[in-house]
Structure 1
Amino acid sequence: MSDGNGAGTTRPAAIEIPDEGLHGRALTTVFVALMLGMFLAALDQTIVSTALPTIVGELGGLDHLSWVVTAYLLASTVSTPLYGKLGDMLGRKPVFVAAIVIFLVGSMLSGLSQTMLQLILFRALQGLGAGGLIVGAQAILADIIPPRRRGRYMGLMGAVFAVSSVAGPLLGGFLVDNLSWRWVFYVNMPIGALALVIVVTRLHLHVPHTRHRVDYLGAGLLAGGVAALILVTTWGGNQYDWGSPEIVGLGIAGVAMLVAFVWQESRAPEPIIPLSLFRSGTFRLASGMGFMIGMAMFGAIIYLPLFLQLVYGASPTSSGLRMIPLMGGLLVAAIASGRAITRFGRYKVYPVVGTVVLVLGMYLLSRLTVESDAWVASVYMAIVGIGLGLVMQVLVLIVQNDARPQDMGVVTSTATFFRSVGGSFGVALFGAIFASRLANELTRLPADVVARLGDVGAIDPARAKELPPEVRADFLRVFANALHGVFLWGMAIAIVPAVLAWFLKEVPLRTTLGRGAPPVEESLPEVPVETEVRAAAR
């Protein structure tokens, strides 16, 4: 890492990146490290799912099982704005390195856990690191590649996110079956260590040396307010009644802290999320779209593996394999749209088309029945994946192109934050919708069938297979009907960003990093771009 003496350093070329960005081998090496960081953060959102039954068998604590996942997601979500601001203030590299170290420490301690409480706490620590990995990777990319050339790299990052999210359950199942559930966490160590070495030795970014005042009060209010509201949607109707003192108290506390956060940001010298960002119509539209897409994506798609396991009798590993069409659709669409944006310099068409395709895909998923062929479900999932691939990473590129260079980190983190919060609320919302519809569907069955089903909420794929044939047929029918409501609500929510996308302005993408606020150029030299992209694709 460089020293802090500015122009008098012995390695000025390593510290200052040209305004046209990195090229060639230097870019490829750093980009690989960024993708490894993104891969780890996305992988650990899902890799633990297939290991949970084994973990409970060894550590106990079945009633706290969901917190192994919730603690990670909650910590990664609430930490993203702070990472973005710290990156702008202290320099992107030291903050990203810190995030990798925190993530690896959390991974090691999670693997060494001896009780369920320890595992939950260490998963939260791991999540704190993951928030910095996701934001840092995208913000560093914005520091080294101008928007005009950034499209296909953002597409590759989106593809990595898709692959790791879907591959998580597969890898988790393999590690549990062949090694131990602890290797679900240990597997992060060599990958993270490689990313750390590359970032430390090969990434040389300018480090600001101006004194800053971190708005810790604002960060605490935002984290507390969002966490409280997420807990309201997570616990409401499950652990506690919606009108219980616990839920009402959390709701009031969450709203109060968010109101206090807005007041604090209006007076803080260096706010975590500058309210001035919302003066931009582009930022408001993209953030709103990201929030709603997060709801539709995380909220509805989380039920697909359950559908595959119950209706088609697929094993956890097999259900992960059956999600490959979704991953493939997202992969192809993200890479293709990224390459097209880099080549033609236009981006608005992709969120417009992507959101419409997502609406169509959600509607088609709502038409799946017990009698639907497996290939039909695969086609519908591929359509959803294509819709997501066309829009997800493009939204980040749009807000980055709209932002000042000194706000790049906070803009990137805020866009990611809104999508993550939308996903958290979506999971809770669709869970409530599914439970309500399932209870309503059960009232249509004969009383003796309902009695034989017992506690429907406790039915897992293994128990469903043990039900008598006639009872199992009735259960699968009501289950599929209840799930239709989840996907229909996902479709309805996806309509909102489909409408908002039409109001996005097509702003020419900058061909430089914008440090000197140069005028926007209309064309891009073809040879350097093609050369470096081929290198990155390899």
Structure 2
Amino acid sequence: MTGSIAPLSEDIAQTNDAFTGLAGVAASEIEEQQQDLKRSPYGSTTFTSKPSDSNVQVVTNVVLEENENENTALRGGQKPVLSNAKIQIIMTSMYLGIFLAALDGTIVSTLMTHIASEFQALPNISWIATGYLLSTTCFQPLYGKISDVLGRKPLLVFSNVVFGLGCLLCGFSNNLWFLVAGRFVTGIGGGGLTSLASITTSDIVPLRDRALYQGMCNVFFAIGTSCGGLVGGFFGEHGGGWRLAFLIQIPVCIISCVLIITYLDLPPLRSYEASCQSYAQRLKNLDWQGAVTLVTFLFLFMLTSSLGGKEIPYDSKLFSLMCVFTVISGALFVIVEIYMTSDPILPVSFLKDRSVSAGSLANFFCVMGMITVNFYLPVYWSSVLNIGPTDVGKRALPSFFSIAFGSLGAGYYMKRTGKYYCFTLGGCLIAVLGLIQVNSVSASMPVWQQYMLQVVPGLGVSILITVTLLAMIAAVPHEHQAATTSISYAFRSTGCTLGVSIGAAIFRNTLNTLLNSKVLKLVSEQHSEAELRSIISNAAHSAEWIHKGAPVFVRATLVECYHFACRATFKFCLFVTILATISCCFIKEHRLHTSIERD
């Protein structure tokens, strides 16, 4: 029997079979792996088969040792360890994508008045922002599983192309709804740019180092978010018109796309069956039922949250109907993912893991609180303190540095220690203390404290966001990291949308109640009820009117109403941040591996 068995190559001859003790025994499994390696551009080992005169079937486990000369590490499949220079180039391309996606989320904040004036469409102008947020939220969770099937590179290129196409449509739009459609297309690409950056990072760097790269991703997202209003304002007033604010992003998309095509070269898919299929076959086998029900649920959820209480009253039949359809579509999605597919587009079963579910809820609640603070602190500055837009923007600027410090600090801490549980709770505590400080805001607060008000909560939330994603990824096998990342982004997006909607509802209801109770007390011979109701209506619709058009006798009362309405919203932010802290208590600490492949 010994003479009938020959090694396939000298490389394999150095590895003894675990069952027979013979050198270089290889069964059909190794021949399949051989073919897979030959297809791979990373296969540095060449197998040459010699004939055997017996049908010996031996099950073997061949471990290919690290080849230091070619800098490759293999375990159960081909996975390259890229050079540091190549990793930095790849990450730069994805940082550009993250920056653009974040920039586009806020760039319209200072362009809306210019666009509304040109198209004579002030009542519907908010759809410019809603269209982008709507498509980003709906399509972002799909990229994880689709990139598992089709590969990261094609999806990253697709995201950049679609994002650039959307910007092109926005730049050449000739009416409001054409612009909204362009924003919707841009959001489809933007959702991929952010989520795929996190997913691809997990493929090219070890989990221990990944925290630092995730921190950098958060920094670029913060830069984009902070610069959006400034860039939009510059082009709107001085830089050639609002259209150029969209068109100027296309060259950056092209640069990012070229870098990805040139340098991002990931190994073939782990599934041998999938790697042998054409793109058409892989697309056909996708969980389309899950994808359709998920997008439908998120679309209805976003639409209901955005329109409820504004365009559609809460007590209307239409709003009730939208809520019913949202719940039904959500239930259908869960049923499809659990019972009707073997390879779900967004595996809700992962939520059974306490780290995944706790991390998801922590993301949901902390983003809900922070986005609401970011929306309503500027309202407080302008309505209560009568601060102009430029000075309002200056008060938000210091938070960027705390977000950068928190994100990078969290990444560095995890890289050095491999630990994250206690650090997560520390970040939560910082966020809670920061929100307590926000709730103490008053008209008499010193100016330096106003500048520092978003610094502490920004620091805490940036730590929490960075760490919880790593905690979720560490809790699942490597092949499920993309889907888990998609779950994280899905919870963030829905938390963001719901936070703005709930915050707006609290603010509007509190403001209307206070205006009616306090202003109507001023009824007298000099001021009729009709006059006061007109004042209430104007004050409820425009914070600027309070300081520019409101009668002097009622101005202090109106400012007081805005003060307490904002404070009520800030209390909601504190409450959900406490819920995020409670969620983090249930996260289980896992080992952060120092190699790309992990057991």
TM-score scaled by structure 2?
Answer: 0.82
Q: CA deviation at 1:128?
A: 0.6
Report Cα offsets for 1:3-47 as digits up to 9, x if no partner: xx9533584279997458434211111111111111111111111
**2:42 alignment partner in structure 1:** 12
1:18-29 paired onto structure 2 within 5 Å:
18=73, 21-29=81-89
Identify the match of residue 575 of structure 2 among 492, 495, 499.
Answer: 492
- 1:178 equivalent to 2:235? Answer no
Distance 1:146-1:57 versus aligned 2 partners, 3 A rule: same
- 1:511 equivalent to 2:591? Answer no
* Cα distance between partner residues in 2 of 1:6 and 1:480: 66
Distance 1:32-1:13 versus aligned 2 partners, 3 A rule: farther
Q: Which runs of 5+ in 2 are unaligned?
A: 1-34, 45-69, 74-78, 270-274
- 1:88 equivalent to 2:160? Answer no
1:279-318 paired onto structure 2 within 5 Å:
279-318=352-391
* Cα distance between partner residues in 2 of 1:47 and 1:495: 31
Report Cα offsets for 1:502-525 as digits up to 9, x if no partner: 2221211011222xx44xxxxxxx
Report Cα offsets for 1:305-356 as digits up to 9, x if no partner: 2222333433333322220122121111111111111111111123211122
1:407-486 paired onto structure 2 within 5 Å:
407-442=480-515, 443-445=517-519, 446-447=522-523, 448=527, 451-461=534-544, 464-486=547-569
Q: CA deviation at 1:469?
A: 4.3
Q: Higher mean Cα deviation, 303-312 or 109-118?
A: 303-312
* Cα distance between partner residues in 1 of 2:85 and 2:454: 37
* Cα distance between partner residues in 2 of 1:371 and 1:44: 35
Aligned partners of 2:546 and 2:559 also within 8 Å: no
Distance 1:10-1:283 versus aligned 2 partners, 3 A rule: closer
Letter in 1 for 2:312: Y
* Cα distance between partner residues in 2 of 1:324 and 1:227: 32
Aligned partners of 1:20 and 1:146 also within 8 Å: no
**1:395 alignment partner in structure 2:** 468
* Cα distance between partner residues in 1 of 2:545 and 2:236: 18
- 1:340 equivalent to 2:413? Answer yes
**1:219 alignment partner in structure 2:** 291
Aligned partners of 1:363 and 1:491 also within 8 Å: yes
Query: Which structure: greater helix fraction?
Result: 1
Aligned partners of 1:359 and 1:495 also within 8 Å: yes
SS of 1:47's partner is helix
Q: How much is the aligned-residue C-alpha RMSD, in angstroms?
A: 2.1
Distance 1:230-1:215 versus aligned 2 partners, 3 A rule: same
**2:102 alignment partner in structure 1:** 42
* Cα distance between partner residues in 2 of 1:20 and 1:496: 41
Q: CA deviation at 1:79?
A: 0.5
Q: Higher mean Cα deviation, 248-257 or 293-302?
A: 293-302
Letter in 2 for 1:171: V
Aligned partners of 1:82 and 1:272 also within 8 Å: yes
**1:381 alignment partner in structure 2:** 454
**1:102 alignment partner in structure 2:** 162
* Cα distance between partner residues in 2 of 1:35 and 1:469: 50
Distance 1:343-1:312 versus aligned 2 partners, 3 A rule: same
* Cα distance between partner residues in 2 of 1:241 and 1:477: 26
* Cα distance between partner residues in 2 of 1:188 and 1:322: 27
Letter in 2 for 1:252: V
Aligned partners of 2:539 and 2:545 also within 8 Å: no
Q: CA deviation at 1:463?
A: 6.4
Distance 1:301-1:10 versus aligned 2 partners, 3 A rule: closer
Q: Higher mean Cα deviation, 121-130 or 62-71?
A: 62-71
- 1:197 equivalent to 2:262? Answer no
Q: Higher mean Cα deviation, 441-450 or 247-256?
A: 441-450
- 1:242 equivalent to 2:314? Answer yes
Report Cα offsets for 1:220-277 as digits up to 9, x if no partner: 1111112212222222221122121211111111111111111111211321112331
By relative contact order (CA 8 Å, sep 6+), the higher-ranking structure is 1
Report Cα offsets for 1:120-179 as digits up to 9, x if no partner: 111011101111111100000000011111111111111111121122111211121112
**2:218 alignment partner in structure 1:** 158
Aligned partners of 1:218 and 1:264 also within 8 Å: yes
Identify the match of residue 331 of structure 2 among 259, 280, 283.
Answer: 259
SS of 2:585's partner is helix
Letter in 2 for 1:316: P
Q: Which has the larger radius of gyration?
A: 2
Aligned partners of 1:148 and 1:511 also within 8 Å: yes
- 1:359 equivalent to 2:432? Answer yes
Structure 1 vs Structure 2: percent identity of aligned residues?
Answer: 27
**2:344 alignment partner in structure 1:** 271
Letter in 1 for 2:592: L
Aligned partners of 2:546 and 2:558 also within 8 Å: no
SS of 1:294's partner is helix
* Cα distance between partner residues in 1 of 2:351 and 2:268: 27
Identify the match of residue 329 of structure 1 among 377, 402, 424.
Answer: 402
Aligned partners of 1:265 and 1:274 also within 8 Å: yes
Letter in 2 for 1:138: S
SS of 1:372's partner is coil
Q: Higher mean Cα deviation, 478-487 or 305-314?
A: 305-314
Aligned partners of 2:163 and 2:186 also within 8 Å: yes
Question: Size of the alignment, in residue pairs?
Answer: 512
Distance 1:375-1:17 versus aligned 2 partners, 3 A rule: farther
Aligned partners of 2:383 and 2:559 also within 8 Å: yes
Distance 1:128-1:393 versus aligned 2 partners, 3 A rule: same
**2:137 alignment partner in structure 1:** 77
Aligned partners of 2:103 and 2:225 also within 8 Å: yes
- 1:128 equivalent to 2:188? Answer yes
Q: CA deviation at 1:468?
A: 4.2
Q: CA deviation at 1:488?
A: 0.5
* Cα distance between partner residues in 2 of 1:463 and 1:473: 9
TM-score scaled by structure 1?
Answer: 0.91
* Cα distance between partner residues in 1 of 2:383 and 2:361: 34
* Cα distance between partner residues in 1 of 2:71 and 2:337: 32
Aligned partners of 1:365 and 1:487 also within 8 Å: yes
Letter in 2 for 1:279: K
Q: CA deviation at 1:51?
A: 0.4
Distance 1:319-1:6 versus aligned 2 partners, 3 A rule: farther
